[in-house]
């Protein structure tokens, strides 16, 4: 996977497969500390300690449709390549939290990628889930919540083309303003 956004989408889809109805995606870029943190939380079925321990093994998967699970192992390797690490916390029946850190300016750190596409792709296939997204860069942030959108939509489904286009345009605009603000600070 070329971008972190694709890793995030993979993990979020795993969360929905684990019965999650709520997913949180949080990205923090801290230039002063030279750290990028990506955190994904869910309220899915969770994992027991042995499953957490095995989660970064590419030959372990809880799915019955395939024999390997590469999502978390590839993300853990991407973190290590950029002097970072991955931490998985999970409680059966409660949910899972995956936090990944990277050295922000490391030459081997993957780019964040297109988070607007990631969020809209997730919602197109899983409109019933609630997603909270927050991207913070040096104290300036972009945030989005499907709970707020769904309250305003009434009966219009969140995965209708009109709504998905609105969400994508909104997130693209907000992410661009975040990038613009960061370049002004340099």
Structural domains of the chain sorted by starting position, each given as residue range(s) with its CATH number in brackets: 4-185 (3.30.565.10)
* Angle subtended at Cα 170 by Cα 40 and Cα 166, rounded to the nearest 5 degrees: 105
Give percent above pLDDT 70 in the chain: 89
* Angle subtended at Cα 127 by Cα 125 and Cα 128, rounded to the nearest 5 degrees: 125
pLDDT confidence bin for 32, thresholds 50/70/90: very high
pLDDT given for residue 61 in this prediction: 55
Give percent above pLDDT 90 in the chain: 73
pLDDT given for residue 24 in this prediction: 98
pLDDT confidence bin for 69, thresholds 50/70/90: very low
* 15: alpha, beta or left? (left if phi > 0; alpha if psi -120 to 50): alpha
């Amino acid at each position: 996977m070329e971008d972190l956004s694709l890793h995030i989408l993979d993990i979020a889809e795993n969360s929905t497969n684990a019965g999650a109805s709520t997913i949180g995606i949080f990205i923090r870029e801290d230039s002063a500390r030279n750290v990028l943190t990506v955190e994904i939380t869910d309220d899915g079925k969770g994992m027991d300690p042995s499953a957490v321990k095995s989660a970064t093994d590419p030959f372990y998967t809880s799915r019955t449709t395939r024999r390997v699970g590469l999502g978390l192992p590839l993300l853990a390797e991407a973190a290590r390549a950029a002097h970072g690490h991955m931490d998985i916390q999970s409680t059966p029946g409660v949910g899972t939290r995956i936090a990944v850190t990277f050295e922000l300016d490391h030459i081997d750190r993957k780019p964040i990628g297109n988070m607007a596409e990631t969020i809209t792709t997730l919602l197109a296939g899983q409109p019933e889930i609630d997603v909270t997204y927050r991207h913070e860069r040096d104290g300036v942030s972009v945030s989005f919540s499907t709970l707020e959108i769904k309250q305003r939509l009434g009966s219009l489904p969140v995965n209708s083309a009109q709504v998905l286009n609105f969400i994508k345009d909104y997130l693209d605009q907000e992410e661009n303003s975040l990038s613009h603000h960061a370049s002004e600070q340099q």
